[in-house]
Structure 1
Amino acid sequence: VSSFLDNVTTVILMTPVAIRLCEVMSLDPVPVLLGIIVQSNIGGSLTPIGDPISIIICSNHFFTKNGITFTKFVAHTLPGVILVTIQSCMHLRFVFRDPQSLRLNEPKEFKDLRREIKVWQRAANSLSSYSKDADLVRATLHKKVKLLKRTLRRKQRGLDSNDAYTHTLQELKLKYPIKHKMLLLQACAALTFVLVCFFVQSVPKWRTLPLGWLALLGVIALLIVLNRDDMEHLLHRIEWTTLLFFAAMFVMMECVERLGLFACIGELTKRIILFVDERHRLA
């Protein structure tokens, strides 16, 4: 998702869902949110539209002059993104290899089992070994304790969590259904249209509009299809401050580049490196 949406937007969309799921499953949301942030940053580096840095790079006239299109950018970044994704997934899987470490507190079912195990153990230890009947009862109690411990380990591994998972899933479906299915289909259609335009823009003969105008075209098409009466209220909900911030940042970066500040910084850096002894330049 972050490859075709801004990574900040992806995190904003996924965070409420992740937090709600963590509340239902009694999990610590911090590790889950960290995983979402890591994967969002990795996915955003795949395409020119997934990250503000990629947008700045691809909007540079040097790239457009040398024919760096949407498809070429994806083709060059795809191998690195695949490797980093595999590494990050393996790392997260290793760090959180114990599912119980993600839980905020132990479920009541596990606490009841532990309490029952202690009761049976106390009963077994309280018996004396003066008769065969007492030894038989003690052996029976120890078997009961072993059975309860095995049940507790099995439940902790999640082998008996299918019923709980099904119940939780049904509860979420009832409480949080899709309220506007038509709006979802229209938004998916507009997003698909924009993505197709991004890839078609890589064809030399059809390279007419930049990526920014293609995205704006998809937004306008979605607003036309919606045909909302409360369009003013909808426009008020747009975060214009964020949009203006990025627009002003891009304008400032272009002004600084045309003033030659970047070239001056590069030249000063080169002189400092040349001033150092050749043996220590890579230190």
Structure 2
Amino acid sequence: MTVLAIGVFVVSYIFIATERIPKTHAALGGAAIVLALGVVHSEDAFYSRETGVDWDVVFLLFGMMIIVGVLRQTGVFEYTAVWAAKRAKGSALRIMILLVLITAVASAFLDNVTTVLLIAPVTLLVCERLEINPVPFLIAEVLASNIGGAATLIGDPPNIIIGSRAGLSFNDFLVHMTPIVIIEIAVFTLILPRLFRGSFEVDPARVADVMALDEREAIRDSGLLIKCGLVLAAVFTGFVGHSIFHVEPSVVALLGAGVLILVSRLPQRDYMAAVEWETLLFFAGLFIMIGALVKTGVIERLASAATDATGGNALVATMLILGVSAVLSGVIDNIPYVATMSPLVADLVAGMDHSTPGHPLWWSLALGSDFGGNLTAVGASANVVMLGIARRADYPISFWEFTRKGVVVTAITVAVAAPYLWLRYFVLA
């Protein structure tokens, strides 16, 4: 069964990477095979928290897609697009930097998937106004969302898992993770001109047209915008305080979507058109295939081998976990990887001498898995969502087009994180 689970995953991953068939077909096909052959059963795929579909992720996405669909009817995305273009004076590079910074900050206080769902429509509209290719902007934003989301407990799903397992608070993440994330975003902003060279040429005539626009005219329904603002404020409060209210973000998103459907009285086609069904099905298939790897012990053996190689040395363990997490999170998906790795890190921390710092292992796991999500197009939920949005907007982003940029950014962010961990916890501690 172990060989079968690995084989199905590898073949499906090859199809996803080469795009010989649609990635949703590849993921669902792989899931069907492991189910049909009994590698996982219905209980494993649909009811198990360890090996099944992460319904919290699926329904969080579904709820936020509906909210974005309702919000789109107000014209606020057009307003924001024109506002951003005018503040940047039509410079494509300045627009990218502005959107990247907004995305990074928003991802720290929401979650990166929600941020991507909100920022992508703005990006598509501003690029349409300037008649420039939105693909570099969309890729830059999702890379920034994965970096910015690392800053807080709620910014990236792996952080929530780590915080729960290690007993780390929201403030712990602010103190330990936010400083390095600020540095990483600054570095990322500096490399944008070289990373997306040739993507910033704009027709001066289009710039003049945009500068002459009045963004206030873009608002089509101010009453609905006020209602959306109130509901979004409540949803965001629920996201930030979900550990206090004991209500999962997925439930908060579904409740917000339900309220907006009731108060907006929009026809079903208006808000359901925003739901990325293919993206949701892709996630379901991917979760089932990864669940087969978890059930057969593949991921646990890989993680265990990595931790055994440390020899009890805290510095070696920190650096090894950082590197291994970055690679495996990018290939497998950082949510199930962290769920599997957390117990092993907890054992490693508990077994170390009290005189050696144990927390660096948790922070290296968080940094490696969060930044590793940028490695490939399927490394993080936000990546898959962004690619789905781009495809529906007729700007498809291939697996390798994303991954070529993601590999560079992951290498740089991990390279910056390594000396931070060493200096903060082993030199200056």
TM-score by length of 2: 0.38
CA distance in structure 1 between the aligned counterparts of 2:305 and 2:195, rounded to whole angstroms: 43
8 Å CA contact 1:201, 1:207 repeated in 2: yes
Alignment map for 1:17-166 (pairs within 5 Å):
17-23=125-131, 35-47=140-152, 54-55=156-157, 57-58=158-159, 60=161, 63-68=163-168, 72-92=172-192, 102-103=200-201
User: For the structure 1 residues 265 and 189, does the alpha-carbon distance in structure 2 shift closer, same or farther, using more than 3 Å as the test?
Assistant: same
Question: Given the superposition, is the C-alpha separation of residues 84 and 232 from structure 1 closer, same or farther in structure 2, using an over 3 Å criterion?
Answer: same
Matched residues, number: 203
- Which residue, 277, 281, 287 being the options, matches 1:240? 277
Q: Distance between the aligned counterparts of 2:241 and 2:139, measured in 1?
A: 35
Q: Does residue 1:183 correspond to 2:224, yes or no?
A: yes
Q: CA deviation at 1:233?
A: 5.6
Residue 197 of structure 1: aligned partner: 238
CA distance in 2, matches of 1:42, 1:69: 19
How far, CA to CA, are the matches of 1:75 and 1:12 in structure 2? 30
Structure 2 gaps, min length 5: 1-101, 312-319, 321-429
Kindly, what percent of the aligned residue pairs are identical? Answer: 26
Output the CA distance in 1 between the equivalents of 2:269 and 2:153: 31
Deviation per residue, 1:90-119 (Å, 9 max, x gap): 33468899xx994356x69xxxxxxxxxxx
Alignment of 1:208 with 2:306, yes or no, is no
Residues in 2 aligned to 1:48 and 1:247: alpha-carbon distance in whole angstroms? 25
Shift of 1:226: 1.8
- Residue 16 (structure 1) aligned with residue 124 (structure 2): yes
3-state SS of the aligned residue for 2:246? coil
Question: What TM-score do the two structures reach when normalised by structure 1?
Answer: 0.53
Q: Structure 1's 208 and 32: CA in aligned 2 closer, same or farther, altered over 3 A?
A: closer
TM-superposed deviation, 1:255? 5.8
Task: Give yes or no for contact 1:28–1:102 (8 Å, CA) kept in 2.
Answer: no
Q: Distance in 1 between matches of 2:123 and 2:159?
A: 28
Which residue type is aligned with residue 91 of structure 1? Answer: I
Report the equivalent of 1:222.
Answer: 260
Question: Which residue of the partner structure matches residue 260 of structure 1?
Answer: 297
Of structures 1 and 2, the one with the larger relative CO (CA 8 A, separation 6+) is: 2
Larger Rg: 1
Question: What's the CA shift for 1:240?
Answer: 2.3
CA RMSD of aligned residues (A): 4.2
Aligned-partner Cα distance in 2 for 1:239–1:29: 19
Equivalent position of 2:210 in the other structure: 168
Which blocks of at least 5 consecutive residues in structure 1 are unaligned? 109-163, 275-281
Letter of the 1:15 counterpart: T
Tell me whether 252-261 or 75-84 shows the greater mean CA deviation: 252-261
Q: Give, in angstroms, the shift of residue 11 of structure 1.
A: 5.5
Q: Which amino acid aligns with 1:208?
A: H
Which string of whole-angstrom CA distances, capped at 9 and with x for unpartnered residues, describes residues 258-278 of structure 1?
54332222344567888xxxx
* 1:183 CA drift (Å): 2.8
The amino acid of 1:45's aligned partner reads A
Q: Distance in 1 between matches of 2:176 and 2:254?
A: 26
Q: SS state of the match for residue 45, structure 1?
A: helix
Q: Which amino acid aligns with 2:201?
A: R
